[in-house]
Amino acid sequence: MKMIGARALIECLKKEQVQVVFGYPGGSVLTLYNELDQSDITHVLTGHEQGAVHAADGYARATGHTGVAFATSGPGVCNMVTGIATAAMDSIPLVVISGQVATTLIGRDSFQEADISGITTPITKHNYLVKNVKELPRVIKEAFYIASTGRPGPVLVDIAKDVFDAELDFSYPDSVRLRGYKGSIKGDEKDIDEAVEALKEARKPLILTGGGLILSETASLLRTLVKSLGVPVVTTLMGKGAIPDSWDLQLGLAGMHGSYASNMGITDCDLLLSFGARFDDRVTDDVENFAPNAKIVHFDIDKVEINKIVHADISVNGDLRWSLPLFIKKIKALDEKSLQAQYGSWREKVLLNKRQHPFASVPQKGVITPEALFNAAKTYTDEDTVIVTDVGQHQMWAAQFFPLAAPRRFITSGGLGTMGYGLPAALGAKVGCPKCKVVLFTGDGSILMNCQEFSTLHRYAVEVKVIVLQNGVLGMVNQWQRLFYGGRQAASVINDFPDMAKVARAMDVPSFTAASPDDLKQGLDQLFETPGPALLKVIIPSEQKVYPMVPGGRRLDEMILTDPEWKEGAPQ
């Protein structure tokens, strides 16, 4: 069937079962938008291209489907670079489609020209520049395959303007053949046998959950293993939700702001089983002394991650959809009750640590503490609620205090730590999961960075509930300054930032304020009872800090637990 390139692209998206696209039009994609307007694919017009790519990211994390974003050439797609890098760091499947200047103008510094393929090479799983319309169906098929298979990630397809207008005989490929790339990775079964032997010999085993469990949809398998063996679990930020926070054996977040029980568990264990985690610096801190007494078993789909940061005594390279069922099958052949008894004294020790050292805010009378806010907010949600955060103190408090029961219900920027991510990501999550409650926790610094997306929430009546923790400072920056830089709060006090409740109301999003403990219930009632999107500004003290905290470069057992315990320069 003959058609122009823009129509062909829309047909390709239909073949990939794309139902929604987030984007912003411009000169080089006018033909594409003309065809999109005549299709049944939903387009969400965001207030900024960065908002579009973060929304596609949030959609992908919440649904498990590949997110799609459109942008025009030059400044349009350049505005997406931060969002593409955010997705790359957290292995999120995206296909970003950008217009490029016409083929005859490429390389001439033409109006709104940018070498986006060159710019994004380090932050995409792969990218393409399409200058021949006949290549378009194959490229789109490959882009979705690459983005969603293996270790997922963003793929950029840059398409010259004249390609959209050129004609082709459209035919969509049935399969993908790529030299040197395998979408499904199966490793060596002998490595799994070694891991089983290590578990048989261990007396103090510990499981570390990573984002790979969420992305591969294998968290339910791991739950079976935890139940049958009684092995305690610690989680990375990206692995939150893989094991329910309500389980006794879930010790909580590990690393820089991890729980006492988790960090001491890593320090004392004799076997660390890591599933789909990459041992980033926020988890390990002093990498030379990370899990110093443990044999480390690293399950990961990406061979590059194995031994990159932490030496693995046993490495199982392969898709968790292959390795985890096989590992469990071999465990089932053992005497599970005997193994569970073997780990009994270890369980008692870590659970005692968990009871004696729970996450807690520093007590303060007459103010709303982070712990009080999250404890109150969770009573308005259910197990299917999607929690989204920006980046900073509120992000860590959400990870510490807000319990989750399922995967894909905690959406946050982990690796890149992108302030401004939360609002558009929450928009995307709600578009992808319209029947779920979506609650965004953000800070007064982060929310300003993409606050234009309040207008998008209003335009499409997207019911996201936004809770802004306002403390008048750039919280995490300010915390580090107070602890490690002589108390000098350089450029981190923001009392003169706009009142976000007024900003949201200016974009027709109802807003409320809770300034004291007496206001909190009323404010939350108003937030959750208001139809459509709404915002609650919650005033919290600027001196509240996130604890525990492991100072950069220290061992995990050198945690700062509360303010009075810390003396600058002295290990704890």
If residue 223 lies in a helix (H) or strand (E), which one and from where to where? helix 219-229
Residue 321: phi, psi to the nearest 5? -70, -20
Residue 523's CB: how many other CB atoms inside 10 A? 21
Task: Look at the block and give the residue holding tokens 């006018």.
Answer: 30
526 catalytic residue (yes or no): no
Q: What DSSP assignment string belongs to 351-410?
A: HHHHHHS---PPP-TTS--HHHHHHHHGGG--TTPEEEE-SSHHHHHHHHHS---STT-E
What residues pair up with 208 in beta bridges, in sequence order?
A: 234, 274
CA 418/CA 442 separation, integer angstroms: 12
240 catalytic residue (yes or no): no
CA 251/CA 207 separation, integer angstroms: 10
Which residues, other chains included, contact 42 with Cβ-Cβ below 8 Å and sequence gap of 6+? 19, 20, 21, 431
489 catalytic residue (yes or no): no
Rounded to the nearest angstrom, the gap between the alpha carbon of residue 308 and the centroid of all alpha carbons in its chain is 21
CA angle, residues 117, 120, 123, in degrees to nearest 5: 145
Sheet containing 205-209: which strands, arranged edge to edge? 250-253, 233-235, 205-209, 271-275, 295-300, 314-317
Both tokens of 556, joined, read 């995990």
CA 306/CA 126 separation, integer angstroms: 21
- Which entry of 49, 371, 453, 558 is annotated as an active-site residue? 49
Q: What DSSP assignment string belongs to 252-272?
A: EE-STT--HHHHHHHHH-SEE
CA 369/CA 380 separation, integer angstroms: 18
Which residues, other chains included, contact 43 with Cβ-Cβ below 8 Å and sequence gap of 6+? 20, 21, 22, 23, 33, 36, 37, 70
Both tokens of 77, joined, read 């797609």
- Which entry of 238, 396, 419, 476 is annotated as an active-site residue? 476
Best CA proximity match to 239, nearest among 305, 283, 289:
283
- Which entry of 112, 250, 400, 479 is annotated as an active-site residue? 112
Rounded to the nearest angstrom, the gap between the alpha carbon of residue 132 and the centroid of all alpha carbons in its chain is 35
- Which entry of 161, 204, 430, 537 is annotated as an active-site residue? 161
476 catalytic residue (yes or no): yes
340 catalytic residue (yes or no): no
CA 290/CA 358 separation, integer angstroms: 22
If residue 539 lies in a helix (H) or strand (E), which one and from where to where? strand 534-539
Name the percent of the chain in helix, strand, coil, to the closest 5.
40, 15, 40
Active site residues: 49, 111-112, 161, 476
